[in-house]
Amino acid sequence: MFRAISALLFIVLILPFAAFIASLAMNAAGASGLSGFIVGFPVFVGILVISVMILAAINDRIYNSGRNHKTNHRTHTNGAH
Protein backbone atom coordinates (compact mmCIF):
# COMPACT_ATOMS: atom_id res chain seq x y z
CA MET A 1 0.00 0.00 0.00
CA PHE A 2 2.85 2.37 0.79
CA ARG A 3 4.30 1.92 -2.69
CA ALA A 4 1.04 2.94 -4.34
CA ILE A 5 0.65 5.97 -2.09
CA SER A 6 4.27 7.01 -2.58
CA ALA A 7 3.95 6.67 -6.38
CA LEU A 8 0.86 8.88 -6.36
CA LEU A 9 2.57 11.32 -4.01
CA PHE A 10 5.60 11.40 -6.27
CA ILE A 11 3.58 12.12 -9.41
CA VAL A 12 1.11 14.57 -7.91
CA LEU A 13 3.26 16.49 -5.42
CA ILE A 14 6.99 15.90 -5.75
CA LEU A 15 7.41 16.37 -9.52
CA PRO A 16 5.51 19.69 -9.61
CA PHE A 17 7.28 20.81 -6.42
CA ALA A 18 10.68 20.04 -7.94
CA ALA A 19 9.77 21.91 -11.13
CA PHE A 20 8.55 24.89 -9.11
CA ILE A 21 11.74 25.05 -7.02
CA ALA A 22 13.84 24.73 -10.19
CA SER A 23 11.94 27.61 -11.77
CA LEU A 24 12.45 29.70 -8.63
CA ALA A 25 16.18 28.95 -8.80
CA MET A 26 16.24 29.98 -12.47
CA ASN A 27 14.37 33.22 -11.70
CA ALA A 28 16.65 33.98 -8.74
CA ALA A 29 19.70 33.49 -10.95
CA GLY A 30 18.11 35.53 -13.73
CA ALA A 31 18.86 32.73 -16.16
CA SER A 32 16.89 31.67 -19.21
CA GLY A 33 17.53 29.45 -22.20
CA LEU A 34 20.58 27.23 -21.98
CA SER A 35 21.90 28.97 -18.87
CA GLY A 36 18.49 28.46 -17.25
CA PHE A 37 18.69 24.78 -18.08
CA ILE A 38 22.19 24.59 -16.61
CA VAL A 39 20.92 26.21 -13.41
CA GLY A 40 17.50 24.56 -13.16
CA PHE A 41 18.19 20.99 -14.23
CA PRO A 42 20.60 20.10 -11.38
CA VAL A 43 18.17 21.60 -8.88
CA PHE A 44 15.30 19.58 -10.37
CA VAL A 45 17.27 16.33 -10.44
CA GLY A 46 18.66 16.95 -6.95
CA ILE A 47 15.21 17.35 -5.46
CA LEU A 48 14.01 14.21 -7.24
CA VAL A 49 17.03 12.21 -6.01
CA ILE A 50 16.55 13.36 -2.43
CA SER A 51 12.83 12.56 -2.50
CA VAL A 52 13.44 9.09 -3.95
CA MET A 53 16.05 8.43 -1.27
CA ILE A 54 13.61 9.50 1.45
CA LEU A 55 10.81 7.35 0.03
CA ALA A 56 13.18 4.37 -0.26
CA ALA A 57 14.31 4.80 3.35
CA ILE A 58 10.70 4.93 4.54
CA ASN A 59 9.88 1.86 2.44
CA ASP A 60 12.83 -0.06 3.88
CA ARG A 61 11.88 0.96 7.38
CA ILE A 62 8.28 -0.17 6.93
CA TYR A 63 8.95 -3.50 5.25
CA ASN A 64 12.07 -4.51 7.18
CA SER A 65 10.97 -3.56 10.68
CA GLY A 66 8.78 -6.65 11.07
CA ARG A 67 11.43 -9.03 9.76
CA ASN A 68 14.22 -7.59 11.91
CA HIS A 69 12.25 -7.99 15.13
CA LYS A 70 11.51 -11.64 14.42
CA THR A 71 15.03 -12.67 13.40
CA ASN A 72 17.15 -10.27 15.42
CA HIS A 73 17.41 -12.54 18.46
CA ARG A 74 18.45 -15.50 16.27
CA THR A 75 21.13 -13.63 14.32
CA HIS A 76 24.71 -14.58 15.13
CA THR A 77 28.06 -14.39 13.43
CA ASN A 78 30.79 -16.96 13.22
CA GLY A 79 33.98 -15.01 13.70
CA ALA A 80 37.51 -16.28 13.25
CA HIS A 81 38.89 -17.97 16.38
8-state DSSP, 73: G
Full residue range of the structural domain in which residue 56 is found: 2-62
The count of domains in the chain is: 1
**Is 81 within a domain?**
no
Any domain includes 53: yes
pLDDT on residue 65: 78
List Cα–Cα distances, 59 to 6, 11, 17, 62, 80, in angstroms.
9, 17, 21, 5, 35
Q: Tell if the pTM clears 0.85, that is, is over it.
A: no
Establish if 77 belongs to a structural domain.
no
Q: Is residue 11 part of a domain?
A: yes
79, part of any domain: no
**Domain presence at residue 28:** yes
Q: Which tens digit of pLDDT belongs to each residue from 32-67? A: 899 999 999 999 999 999 999 998 898 888 888 766
pLDDT confidence band for 79 (50 / 70 / 90): low
* Per-residue pLDDT tens over the stretch 8-37: 888 899 999 999 999 999 999 998 899 999
